[in-house]
Amino acid sequence: MKNSYQLSNKNIVLGITGGIAAYKAADIVSKLKKEGAQIKVVMTKNALNFINPLTLETLSGNPVYYDTFEHRLNAWEIDHISLAKWADVMLIAPATANIISKARCGIADDLLSTTIMATTSKVIFAPAMNTNMLHNPIVQSNIAYLKDLGYEFISSESGILACGDFGDGKLAKVDDIVKYVKDFFLRTTDMSNMNVLVTAGPTREYIDPVRYISNPSSGKMGYSIAQVCAERGATVDLVSGPTHITPPTGVNLYRVETAREMYDKVMELFPRAQIVFKSAAVGDYGVENKAKHKLKKTKDTMELKLKKNPDILKELGNQKTNQILVGFAAETRDIEEYALKKLQEKNLDFIFVNDVSREDAGFERDTNAGILFTREGDRVELPVQTKRELACRIVDEVLKRI
Ligand code: C5P
């Protein structure tokens, strides 16, 4: 059979930790190598008890690294830094509860954990452990936390485990792990010629210089979308209302406060965009007469007169030529009906709607769920998942159709 060499010129650091599934790492190395990848293996001390480094050294054609104090790359460099820089991706397979939990806490006490901390490349974990360990809430919370930061996980499988128990925690199939890595590299370039405009967060409508009307949007959904698009190679303009979260790296960030400021910035950037993800929670009304100075509490009652803000997305819908518009709708009732109405009225290509009255979805939460509707009438139900996972799904679904 002809080899496609899909991974040629790709540098993969394979981290092997101390679980019985470590023996499968030999097959992972062999299969990645057959796809053309260059592989450097880093083993933890415990992994050495399960598989001989000589096997991995022979299969990878490179020295195996397992001792922080033994410099084997370049005498003047330090292994974890050189490996961290060399890697296009780090794959940790099998990944024990220990390495996952160490990564979550930023513990860097051996070569593998220091390399994970030092790399700026994607780190993908393929967990393998006893079912009860996997389902331990501590491990689950560590996985969720890392996922939210952009670390990826290849789900383990169900089956008979080495300890005799039956359940989740079996290392994913080697072929599935190899496929995941191949798909990862496809994914990192599939938006490389695209300009994407994302809006995120709330807007503020000032009553006086120190008081404003706003909403609890955290910006997490939009920031995740911006991050996912940037990781896939897109040039991303992120127009953000005030947030307290760390902005994604590798995007052009424009901070705004009011709906009017957001309108101006979005209109300026729109002509160069191919896809717009309009996930900001824009205030529908602004204050008609903003007080120049701080208002004093002289009267028992006070009336505010509000006036409608420009509907940015609707304006984009009017102006669009060949841009793809993805709207977001937060609803508390009749969510499908409202979503479809907005899709049509704002001339959108997609709308993602979520029910913000749910406990596990919407404003300020780390997780979200909802339905993506397309102009063509497709309806994609997206169950509860982290906002980052959801961002990946939404971007996937949009790209698939354009
Ligand atoms: O009509 P509604 O506000 O529910 O629509 C939500 C969608 O419209 C979101 O994508 C939001 O970013 C966008 N929107 C906007 N300008 C507004 C209000 C909403 O762009 N003034």
pLDDT digits (tens, 9 = 90+) for 70-126: 555 555 557 788 999 999 999 999 999 999 999 999 999 999 999 999 999 999 999
Cα–Cα distance measured from residue 203 to residue 196, given in angstroms and rounded to the nearest whole number = 21
Residues 85 and 32 occupy one common structural domain: yes
Cα of 363 from ligand 1 centre, angstroms: 15
Cα of 381 from ligand 1 centre, angstroms: 21
Mutate to test the pocket of ligand 1, among 198, 263, 277, 313 (most ligand atoms within 8 A of CB): 313
Ligand 1, pocket residues at CB < 6 Å = 199, 259, 278, 280, 282, 284, 309, 311-313, 327-329, 342
Residues 231 and 356 occupy one common structural domain: yes
Q: What is the pLDDT of residue 74?
A: 56
Residues 173 and 231 occupy one common structural domain: no
pLDDT digits (tens, 9 = 90+) for 168-227: 999 999 999 999 999 999 888 899 999 999 999 999 999 999 999 999 999 999 999 999
Instruction: Report the nearest atom of ligand 1 relative to the CA of 310.
Output: 21
In a domain, 273, yes or no: yes
Cis omega (within 30 of 0) for bond into 202: no
Range of the domain at 324: 195-400
Domain end marker among 187, 213, 243: 187
Of all residues in the chain, the percent with pLDDT exceeding 90 is 83
Residues 130 and 235 occupy one common structural domain: no
From 106, 130, 91, select the one nearest 7 (Cα to Cα): 91
In a domain, 6, yes or no: no
Residues 112 and 258 occupy one common structural domain: no
In a domain, 276, yes or no: yes
Residues 183 and 207 occupy one common structural domain: no
> Could you tell me the CA-to-CA distances from 137 to 101, 134, 190, 359 in Å, in that order?
12, 8, 35, 19
Catalytic residue among 105, 163, 229, 392: 163
Mutate to test the pocket of ligand 1, among 312, 353, 394, 398 (most ligand atoms within 8 A of CB): 312
Q: Residue 401: which H helix or E strand, with range?
A: helix 387-401
Q: How many folded domains does the chain comprise?
A: 2
DSSP letter for 171, please: P
Q: What is the pLDDT of residue 205?
A: 97
Domain end marker among 187, 207, 231: 187
Residues 175 and 229 occupy one common structural domain: no
In a domain, 358, yes or no: yes
Cα of 354 from ligand 1 centre, angstroms: 13
Mutate to test the pocket of ligand 1, among 311, 318, 320 (most ligand atoms within 8 A of CB): 311
Residues 297 and 170 occupy one common structural domain: no
Q: What is the pLDDT of residue 19?
A: 94
Q: What is the pLDDT of residue 68?
A: 61
Q: What is the pLDDT of residue 52?
A: 96
105 included as an active-site residue: no
Instruction: Look at residue 9 and give its three-state secondary structure.
Output: coil
From 198, 219, 216, select the one nearest 265 (Cα to Cα): 198
Residues 170 and 213 occupy one common structural domain: no
For the chain, residues with pLDDT lower than 50 are 1-3
* Mean pLDDT across the chain: 93
CATH of the domain at 238: 3.40.50.10300
From 253, 248, 223, 222, select the one nearest 237 (Cα to Cα): 253
Q: Residue 179: which H helix or E strand, with range?
A: helix 174-187
Residues 274 and 170 occupy one common structural domain: no
In a domain, 106, yes or no: yes
